[in-house]
Chain A
Amino acid sequence: MIRRITVTLAGPVVSVLLALLVTTLFLTIGGYSATSAYEVMWNYGIEPASLVSALNNAVPLYLAGVAAAFALRMGLFNIGVDGQYRVAALAGAVVAANLPLPLYLRLPITLIVCCVTGALWALVPALLKVYRGVSEVITSILMNAIATTVVAILLADVFRSGGGQNTGTAIIGDEGAMPVLIDLGIGNRTSITGFLVVAIVVGILFYLIQYRTVFGFTLQVASRSPEAAESAGIKVNRRIIWAMLGSGAIAGLVGMPHVLSTAFRFDGTLPTDLMFTGLAAALLGRSHPIGIAVGAFILAFVERSSQVLGLVQLPTEVGSVFMAVILLSSAVGYWLTERADQRVALWNAIRRRRRENPPPAAPLPTGMEASR
């Protein structure tokens, strides 16, 4: 048990340290002082307002990460989270602003509409993969481009409300917006969004479905060996469709924290790069619901604190570099920790055997063991 936790934790830690190293190199070669950069970032990052902001910003990243992970566990790469959440956010914004129902009915219906829209947008790549054998990576990227145009047309010609330079849907009033979970009341915007609860529920559902049901198990089997799964009676094609639907449904929620608790409408300020950062969180957290949460918070923390770099005349892109390197190093970090873990297991096995049976006259050639 301790060992499993150590290994799980060592991965992200090594990844972050590697990212820190590369960013430091980048800064030092660029002729900047990395210490002062990290110092101002840290000091700004641990201010209460920053921590609240990082927590709130981590929520959409977490949802995007879980959405990606849901498909990843079936061996599918849902790169279409981006398009799915933008279309779903537009649908959700329209429903939340117009549905004539009280909040306790309107909010759940809004979220369900978002999930359904996201799932339907993800269904297209799933069907194309099952029936035509087209890679879901290609089709979901194309669906992202279609989403951009569809959203633009719908927003400009159908749902646009109000004049002026900013274009958005109708403003969502209190009876449609997500209530605040806790207001810390220490200045502007120090309230924690109710979407934190949504994220936790999604995380628990993800865990239960993927780790504690037969369905989740069959997904794993189908992704490891489709042929074996098929011969064991698991309908792989149906699993592909369900995995993409699930991933799309979660993806449908990604844009909603912004719509229902920041902008209170769908407009040009909806973030468009949540998918890649969310994917980084999923990789960093190794597709485990708790790991993704840690990863999402780290990334949101870095994003927020790197904004202060303009103060020390450093490019704010340092934060982006750091996150890009985390993506790369999370792969390397896991490979290293896995190798290390295997080595340790091997040493232990050898030591145990030596303790149990005293060393024979001619010791085993080490090459045999190492070849494990």
Chain B
Amino acid sequence: MTISRKAAALGATALTAALLLSACSGKTATVQPSADADQPKIAMLYGTTGDFSFMDSAYKGFTDAQSEFSFTPLDFSSPNTDDYQDRLDLAISQGAGLAIGIGFQYATPMEQTTEHPDTQFVAVDIDKGTSIPDVTTISFAAEQSSYLVGVAAALTSKTGHIGFIGGVDQPSIQNFFVGYEAGAKSVNPSITVDTTYLSPLGDFTGFSDPTKGKEAAASMYSGGADVIYAAAGGSGQGVYEQAAASSTDAQKNWAIGVDGDVYNQVDESIKPFILTSAIKNVNVAVEDSIKSFLDGSLEAGEQDFDLSNDGVGYSTSGDFLDAYTDQLEKAKQDIIDGTIEVPSAV
């Protein structure tokens, strides 16, 4: 006999309002699966865009493929770092023919998901040498491109002092550092290489905090470094800004970008301070996988993206490295030939 009437009334109002509001919809979200049932569906599982590097590059590959080929894209983005498994389940349950996971975190879920007869898996940026049954794993030799930008940094530095800013203190980022240091020391064995990481292992904020990046860069530049390599995802933006802000007539400070060609992404005022970028062609990996899936030639197994197939490299936008082209190309050729063995942290 005692229904809390007011609560009931309020609930009813809320429900009615919710129904009314949802009835008068704005632009109707297209439920894509019903749009084109015959087309193959391709899912990309990734984090969030806006890092000016890894994720943006993957997303670019996905959108480029959409304009070039005909398929139904399933876009599974998530800011969480604990639901890789769920996203994979989702791709399967939505009938995706191909699921592309961006990031080494997809290795375990893809290995554990053994029943996926109608869905092919591609895992992008997996450790070299990882073999998962029925999964295409793509690895990037980030240490090789880092080696080359290390060479460029040492050749460009006037103070004999360079720096490295990593996003998170984890092996995948330490890998950029060991390559970079080796490259720099190959040019100038006595060069000083400062290094710092923006957050400790397990704390991913270092990839998305430009302010921290800026502060770390400020202290490195004022400590005498004149080239800083930022392997810090979205935090790199702070490093690029600081390179411009801390440059004086007496000393020009440089920043080196990562993954994508940062020169093309930053503001005009910062462009003159971007020496080069260590390129990781994630977009090419994504686009190639989609292409080969669509023409039926995608096979499980390992694919290595390294200098020999231009899967990684360095950018020359801005032409700041023109004077050193010969040295850089020689180092590149030596790595491809195996004359130079680049150390790796993974």
Query: Could you tell me the distance between the alpha carbons of A340 and B87 in the complex, rounded to whole angstroms?
Result: 42
C-alpha spacing A272/B10, complex, angstroms:
35
Q: Are A344 and B14 in contact (CB under 8 A)?
A: no
Q: Which residues of A contact B86 (CB under 8 A)?
A: 53, 304, 307
Quick check: which of A24-32, A61-69, A111-119, A203-211 contacts chain B, the rest being far away? A24-32
Interface string of A104-143 (1 = CB under 8 A from B): 0000000000000000000000000000000000000000
Asked whether A321 is an interface residue with its Cβ less than 8 Å from the other chain, the reply is no
Considering the chains assembled together, what is the distance between the CA atoms of A18 and B17 in angstroms? 10
Given A36-B29, A49-B93, are A14 and B11 also a contact pair (CB < 8 Å)?
A: yes
Complex CA–CA separation, A271 to B89 (angstroms): 18
The answer, among A36, A151, A317, A340, for a CB contact under 8 Å with B5, is A340
Residue in B closest to A25 when the chains form the complex, CB atoms: B21
Of the candidates B94, B202, B346, the one whose C-beta lies within 8 Å of that of A163 is B346
Please tell me if A213 contacts chain B, counting CB pairs below 8 Å: no
Interchain nearest-CB distance for A364 vs B (Å): 22
When the two chains form their complex, are residues B11 and A13 in contact, meaning their CB atoms are under 8 A apart? yes
Q: Determine if A3 is an interface residue (Cβ-Cβ < 8 Å).
A: yes
Q: Which residue in B4, B32, B75, B81 is a CB contact (below 8 Å) of A272?
A: B81
Contact B6 A336 (CB under 8 A): yes
CB pair B202–A268 under 8 Å, yes or no, is: yes
Q: Is the CB of A312 within 8 A of B79?
A: no
Contact of A18 among B14, B29, B113, B130 (CB under 8 A): B14
Contact A312 to B29, CB < 8 A, known contacts A21-B17, A262-B85: yes
Q: Is the interface of A mostly helix, strand, loop or mixed?
A: helix
User: Are B14's CB and A35's CB within 8 A?
Assistant: no
Contacts of B29 in A (CB 8 A): 32-33, 36-37, 312-314
Q: Is the CB of A164 within 8 A of B127?
A: yes
Total number of residue pairs linking A and B with CB closer than 8 Å: 205
Q: How far is the CA of A312 from the CA of B258 in the complex (A)?
A: 32
Q: Which of A266-323 contact B (CB under 8 A)?
A: 268-273, 303-304, 307-308, 310-314, 316-317
Q: Is B297 an interface residue (CB 8 A)?
A: no
- The answer to the question of B337 belonging to the interface, with a C-beta cut-off of 8 Å to chain A, is no
Contact across chains for B74 and A311 when beta carbons are under 8 A apart: yes
Flag whether B223 is at the interface (Cβ < 8 A). no
* Min CB gap A321→B, angstroms: 12
Also in contact, A44 and B93, with CB within 8 A (given A152-B202, A163-B346): yes
Chain B neighbourhood of A341, CB < 8 A: 4
The answer to whether A2 and B2 touch across the interface, beta carbons within 8 angstroms, is yes
Chain B 1-34 residues near chain A, CB threshold 8 A: 1-8, 10-11, 14-15, 17-18, 21-33
Rounded to whole angstroms, the CA-CA distance of A28 and B90 in the bound complex is: 25
For B78, the chain A residues whose CB sits under 8 A away are: 307, 316
Q: A49-B89, A49-B93, A165-B104 are in contact. Are A32 and B82 (CB under 8 A)?
A: no
A298 → B minimal CB distance (Å): 15
Within 8 A of B (CB), among A241-265: 258, 262-263
Are the CB atoms of B171 and A33 closer together than 8 Å? Answer: no
Question: How far does the Cβ of B161 sit from chain A's closest Cβ, in whole Å?
Answer: 27
Q: How far is the CA of A310 from the CA of B172 in the complex (A)?
A: 28
**Nearest chain B residue, comparing its CB with the CB of A18:** B14
Using an 8 Å CB-CB cutoff, how does the interface string of A152-194 with B read, 1 for contact, 0 for none?
Answer: 1101100000011111000000000000000000011100000
Chain B nearest Cβ from A337, distance in angstroms? 5
Cα A44 to Cα B125 with chains together (Å) = 29
Residue of A nearest to B170 (CB): A167
Contact present for B200 and A148 (CB under 8 Å): yes
In the complex, the answer to whether A311 meets B32 with C-beta atoms within 8 Å is: yes
Given the interface pairs A34-B18, A37-B29, A307-B86, the reply to whether A47 lies near B93 with Cβ below 8 Å is yes
Which of A32, A310, A337, A348 has most chain B Cβ within 10 Å?
A: A310
The answer to whether the Cβ of A101 comes within 8 Å of any Cβ in the partner chain is: no
Do the beta carbons of B26 and A32 come within 8 Å of each other? yes
Nearest chain-A residue to B28 (Cβ)? A33
Check A14 against B7 for contact (C-beta < 8 Å): yes
A152 touches B82 (CB 8 A): no
Bound form: Cα–Cα A40–B93 in Å: 13
A348, B4: Cα distance in complex, Å: 12
A→B interface (CB under 8 Å): 2-3, 6-7, 10, 13-14, 17-18, 20-21, 24-25, 27-28, 30-38, 40, 44, 47, 49, 53, 148-149, 151-153, 155-156, 163-167, 187-189, 258, 262-263, 268-273, 303-304, 307-308, 310-314, 316-317, 336-337, 339-341, 343-345, 348
Given pairs A10-B8, A32-B26, A152-B201, 14 additional interface contacts (CB within 8 A): A18-B14, A21-B18, A28-B22, A35-B23, A148-B200, A152-B169, A163-B171, A164-B104, A167-B171, A187-B115, A189-B85, A307-B87, A336-B10, A340-B5
